[in-house]
Structure 1
Amino acid sequence: MLGEKKYFLFDIDGTLAVDTTLYDGTKEFLEWIEETGGRCFYITNNSTKSRKDYVEKFKNWGIRTEESQFMTASYAACLYLKKYYEGKKIFVLGTPSFIKELKEAGILVTEKAEDHVDCVLVGFDSTLNYDKMTDACRLLFQKEVDFLGTNPDLRCPASFGFIPDCGAICRMLEVTAGRKPYFIGKPNRLIADLCMQQCKGSPEEYLVVGDRLYTDIACGIEAGIETAVVYTGEADPEEVRTSIWKPDYAFDTIRQLYDAVRKARGEGAGR
């Protein structure tokens, strides 16, 4: 039930904002959650920014956050590589911010198709070029080199529509090299589990909120917590009707979800 929710796991792009513009109701909702003893987490598959970058981005919106509130695909990748590829060389196809975050986590990173590479890791790379793709293919044709992706999202919301995301980049490599990646970010429940470990609340107190069924909603379902979709990004009512990933709640906007949560708690509409 919405009235029980205390901990909210929000996707960002297409859910709370598009590009640098917050959706109506976002700031009020996030502030209300914190003011009423709840906690906001941000579970984004966008690997172009580090957690520090997101703290600054939210600061520019007038929203105070801490790094621990951001469970990004890039941060999850750092944890995954530390666990399974400690001391091994990783070829990374990603932005300078992503590569910096990996290096700061102690990951041995290269951006060239060198010898003794153990894994190709692909992120949402807004600095992508053909040379990078060629190097990735050169490595992926070596069967002993593993193939990882930060997230399976095919497109990312933009002010004019959508732009290619990590899943689309991986799809190009897949059809070229005949290799399928293992994705670390949503719908992998790892990101949701990292949030739940911080608060120790019961599953009934959590809600995953997102605009994409096969990542956001699937992640919540995999983690065993309720989900809400908003129709400001990729999903629409027809997709919800036909999808295997069924959200528990659906709203046109984040403002409508905010109002519904307050109503469920016996309060009036949002500010």
Structure 2
Amino acid sequence: MLNEKKLFLLDIDGTVCKGTQLLDGVKSFLEDTKSNGGKCLFITNNATKSVTDYKKLFRQMGLEVEEEDFVTTAVVTAEYLHRHHENETIFVLGTDSFIQELEEKGITVTQDPDNISITCVVVSYDNQLTYQKLENTCKVLTMRDVDYIATNPDLVCPNEFGYIPDCGSICEMIGHAVQRKPRYMGKPDTAIVKFAMKKAGMIKAQALLVGDRLYTDIACGNRAGIDTALVLTGEATKEDVEHSSYRPTYLIDSIAALHREWKTS
């Protein structure tokens, strides 16, 4: 039942906002959740922004949030790199903010494809993408026997006018050139949900994952064994649900509608 939920794991793009546009009902939902002893954590596959960037963006949209309210794929990626490539050199295709966040977490980063110390390639969504970056990444993956990971499999990212290519599309391009696919760190991999639940100190029965994509958000919740709510403010439609193997626990128009259902359940 919705009224038993105390931890809301909220996707950001297409669920909470589109670009810099806050979606209707989000602010009141966050305030009501907090006043009733619940907690909202924002979990996102978007690695272009650091948790500091997200705090600034959300506050500009009128939301009272702190850095600890965000769990990004940059956080999960850094954990993977510390486990499997401690004190090694990592080649990264990504934004300056993503690279800075990895470096702040103690990761040694290079963008030089000729660096002989590279043991792993990391690809992320990059709104500063150039053809030279693609060529350099392909060079490392072709010439070296290195680990290959990426932040998230999302093919597109919603914004104010529609959609733009996301990390999954960048990896598709690279894959056609080098015949390799990465291991993805973000949703639908369950690591980000497990990290968030441990951070909040709550159990599966108390959690609800809310998102707009079947193949990342809902798939992640299904794999993690927690309830999910698909909102129709982003990518997925009702018709998509009918043809998908990923089944949300709840199909809801928006965060505003979720708020109403939660209060009356």
Which TM bucket (shorter chain)? over 0.9
Residue 20 of structure 1: aligned partner:
20
Q: The residue matched to 1:71 in structure 2 has which SS? A: strand
Residue type at the aligned position of 1:165: D
Residue type at the aligned position of 2:75: Y
Contact 1:50–1:75 (CA<8 Å) still a contact in 2? no
CA separation in 1, counterparts of 2:199 and 2:182? 29
Residue 235 of structure 1: aligned partner:
236
Residue 180 of structure 1: aligned partner:
181
Residue 142 of structure 1: aligned partner:
143
Shift of 1:74: 1.1
Residue type at the aligned position of 1:217: I
Q: Does 1:213 align with 2:214?
A: yes
Shift of 1:198: 2.2
CA separation in 2, counterparts of 1:95 and 1:198? 26
Aligned residues with identical type, % of pairs: 47
- Stretches of structure 1 lacking an aligned partner (at least 5 in a row): 265-271
CA separation in 2, counterparts of 1:198 and 1:94? 26
Aligned length: 264
- Stretches of structure 2 lacking an aligned partner (at least 5 in a row): none
CA separation in 1, counterparts of 2:95 and 2:193? 24
CA separation in 2, counterparts of 1:158 and 1:202? 33
- Runs of 4+ in structure 1 deviating by more than 4 angstroms, as ranges, are none
Residue 200 of structure 2: aligned partner:
199
Q: 1:29-86: CA deviations, max 9, x gaps?
A: 1111111111000010000001111111111122122222211011111111111111
CA separation in 2, counterparts of 1:4 and 1:143? 51
Shift of 1:143: 4.8
Residue 263 of structure 1: aligned partner:
264
Q: The residue matched to 2:106 in structure 1 has which SS? A: coil
Q: The residue matched to 1:43 in structure 2 has which SS? A: strand
Q: Does 1:100 align with 2:114?
A: no
Residue type at the aligned position of 1:82: H
Q: Name the Cα RMSD after superposition.
A: 1.0
Alignment of structure 1 residues 1-271 onto 2, 5 Å:
1-113=1-113, 114-264=115-265
Q: The residue matched to 1:40 in structure 2 has which SS? A: strand
Residue type at the aligned position of 2:96: P
Q: 187-196 vs 111-120, which deviates more?
A: 111-120
Q: The residue matched to 2:132 in structure 1 has which SS? A: helix
Normalised by the length of structure 1, the TM-score is 0.95
Shift of 1:119: 1.0
Q: 1:117-161: CA deviations, max 9, x gaps?
A: 111100110000000000000011135111110000000001111
